[in-house]
Structure 1
Amino acid sequence: MFGYSMAEIGNIVVMQGFSGLSMFTVLLLMALGLAIIFGQMGVINMAHGEFMTIGAYTTVMLSKVAATYGFTNYYFIFAILIAFGLAFIVGYFIEFVMIRHLYKRPLDTLLATWGLSLVMQQIFRSTFGAKEVSAELPEWMLGSFQPTPDIDIPINGVFVMGLAALVTFGVYMFMFKSRWGLRVRATVQNRTMAGAVGINTAKVDRVTFALGCGIAGIAGAAFTTIASTGPTTGTLYIVDSFMVVVFGGAASIVGTIASAFGIAQAQSVLQFFMTSSMGKVSTLLAIVTILMMKPEGLFASKLRK
């Protein structure tokens, strides 16, 4: 930080902070899906990043179709919905074929989904090639605006922030204000009693897992606005996403939001003044230190003893 004036440091923090907000939105969308799958269901889904990649490739392919037929300015909203739908359907199928046999066996879910992630990466590589590809963004998402002469804020970053806020609100309403969310929470707290009162717990599991995967698909669509997509794109975010969920509190949406924001901002600002790896290491050390004092995370679930 030496060699910068206070005004320059202030501008750097603002610019890097907004850059961190773009990373925050992707991390938050990824972590919301994991908070449902891991926090609510106890499934360690190491293939969660590949569902993000499904959403990213879906958006890239739709952008190419849109460019061919001349409706680039209109495709992106539909791409988000289709990315969610495809990831949801694949997640529903995976839960039915594999995950439903592994509940209450977290180590087995870790190993099985890790193997699934390798299979999905190879499918992406065989289908789309090993090179990274980028989506063609609509014109209304290009450019930036300047609140001050020294600060540029990209419009696509503002859009994905709004998208993340909308999805977060939707997840909150689904989990805490809907009958289905009540069934999910009842199944998590006492599966036997939930089944006894007529709740189809197998269906709850399947739809909940698929919903988490669908949200990862939305994260993939958002990711295309800030970076290119390759077969291993999802693996770059899976560790950070688990870190967000564990640090915030596995079953807490508020904790997930706070954790994603803190981690993204810390990494973005520190990586400007340090190397990229040192910024990540410094952030990880801070998280480990806090978890040693609060092992249940920032926002622990309140359990009835």
Structure 2
Amino acid sequence: MFGYTMDEIGNIVVMQGFSGLSLFSVLLLMALGLAIIFGQMGVINMAHGEFMAVGAYTTVLMSKLAVKYDLVHTYFVFAIIAAFIFAFVIGYLIEFLMIRHLYHRPLDTLLATWGLSLVMQQIFRSTFGAKEVSAELPEWLLGSFQPTPDIDIPINGVFVMGLAIIVTASVYLYIYRSRGGLRIRATMQNRTMASAVGINTKKVDRMTFALGCGIAGVAGASFTTIASTGPTTGSLYIVDSFMVVVFGGATSLIGTIASAFSIAQAQSILQFFMSSSMGKVSTLLVIVMILMMRPEGLFASKLRK
């Protein structure tokens, strides 16, 4: 930080903080889906990043259609919905065809979903090419506004943050204020008793897995506003997403939010003053030290066994 005045450091922290909010929003959306799958079901889904890519490529395809039919100004909201639906349907089919046969076999699930991620990456590469592609964004997502002469805040980052807030609130209402969410929580806490009172736990598992994948699709749609998309884009975020879930507490929605915010802000600010790799390493070291003292995560839930 040497060579900067205090005013400059303050402006840098504010701008990097807002830049970190964009990363926070994508990480939060990714981690929400992963927390539902990993925290609620105990499934380690190494292909979760590829469901993010499904959402991103869906948005790219819809942007091409929007350009063709002169609908660029209005297509993006529908692209988000389509990204959720496509990722949800694919996740539902994957759970039915593969995941349901691997419950209580964590190593097999880990290897199978890792293999699935490689297959999906090759499908993306064969379908869309190896080069990264970008969505055509509507004008209302471009540019920035200046609260002060020295601070620029990107509009797309504010939009992604708003989308993350809406999705997070929706997930909270679904899990804690709906009958479907009650079934999910009952199955998570005691599968045998949930089944005994008439809950179809297999259906709950399938819908839960599909919901987590659908949220990853929304993360992919939001990702197109801040970066281009390639076959391996999703895999670049899977480690950070698992780190968010584990650090926050695998079954805690509040922990996922707090963890995503802390990690995104730390990486964004540290990477300005250090190299990108050193910023990530420094963040990871702090997380490891905290987990050594609190291995259950920041906000662990107490579950009946």
TM-score class, shorter-chain normalisation, is: over 0.9
Q: Which residue type is aligned with residue 53 of structure 1?
A: A
Residues in 2 aligned to 1:124 and 1:303: alpha-carbon distance in whole angstroms: 39
What SS class does the counterpart of residue 170 from structure 1 fall into? helix
| Counterparts of residues 105-254 of structure 1 (less than 5 Å) | 105-254=105-254
Q: Which residue type is aligned with residue 295 of structure 1?
A: P
Alignment pair present for 1:63 and 2:63: yes
Q: TM-score, normalised by structure 2?
A: 0.99
Partner of 1:48: 48
Partner of 1:9: 9
Measured against aligned partners, the alpha-carbon deviations of 1:7-30 in whole angstroms (never above 9, x if no partner) come to 000000001111000000000000
Measured against aligned partners, the alpha-carbon deviations of 1:228-275 in whole angstroms (never above 9, x if no partner) come to 000000011000000000000000000000000000000000000000
1:304: Cα distance to partner?
A: 4.2
User: Alignment identity in percent?
Assistant: 82
Residues in 2 aligned to 1:188 and 1:248: alpha-carbon distance in whole angstroms: 18
Residues in 1 aligned to 2:184 and 2:69: alpha-carbon distance in whole angstroms: 43
Residues in 1 aligned to 2:284 and 2:196: alpha-carbon distance in whole angstroms: 44
Residues in 2 aligned to 1:264 and 1:186: alpha-carbon distance in whole angstroms: 32
What SS class does the counterpart of residue 301 from structure 2 fall into? coil
| Counterparts of residues 26-105 of structure 1 (less than 5 Å) | 26-105=26-105
Residues in 2 aligned to 1:150 and 1:64: alpha-carbon distance in whole angstroms: 36
What SS class does the counterpart of residue 184 from structure 2 fall into? helix
1:189: Cα distance to partner?
A: 1.4
Residues in 2 aligned to 1:194 and 1:289: alpha-carbon distance in whole angstroms: 37
Q: What is the aligned length?
A: 305
Residues in 1 aligned to 2:58 and 2:296: alpha-carbon distance in whole angstroms: 36
Whether the aligned pair in 1 keeps the contact of 2:72 and 2:136 (CA below 8 Å) is: yes
Measured against aligned partners, the alpha-carbon deviations of 1:95-116 in whole angstroms (never above 9, x if no partner) come to 0000001111111111100000
Partner of 1:292: 292
1:303: Cα distance to partner?
A: 2.8
What RMSD in Å do the two structures reach over aligned CA positions? 0.7
For structure 1, the 5+ residue unaligned runs are: none
> Relative to structure 2, which stretch is displaced further, 184-193 or 35-44?
184-193
What SS class does the counterpart of residue 299 from structure 1 fall into? coil
Whether the aligned pair in 1 keeps the contact of 2:189 and 2:303 (CA below 8 Å) is: no
Residues in 2 aligned to 1:114 and 1:178: alpha-carbon distance in whole angstroms: 33
Q: Which residue type is aligned with residue 231 of structure 1?
A: P
Measured against aligned partners, the alpha-carbon deviations of 1:133-165 in whole angstroms (never above 9, x if no partner) come to 000100111111000000000111111100000
Residues in 2 aligned to 1:267 and 1:93: alpha-carbon distance in whole angstroms: 35
> Relative to structure 2, which stretch is displaced further, 189-198 or 7-16?
189-198
Residues in 2 aligned to 1:304 and 1:189: alpha-carbon distance in whole angstroms: 6
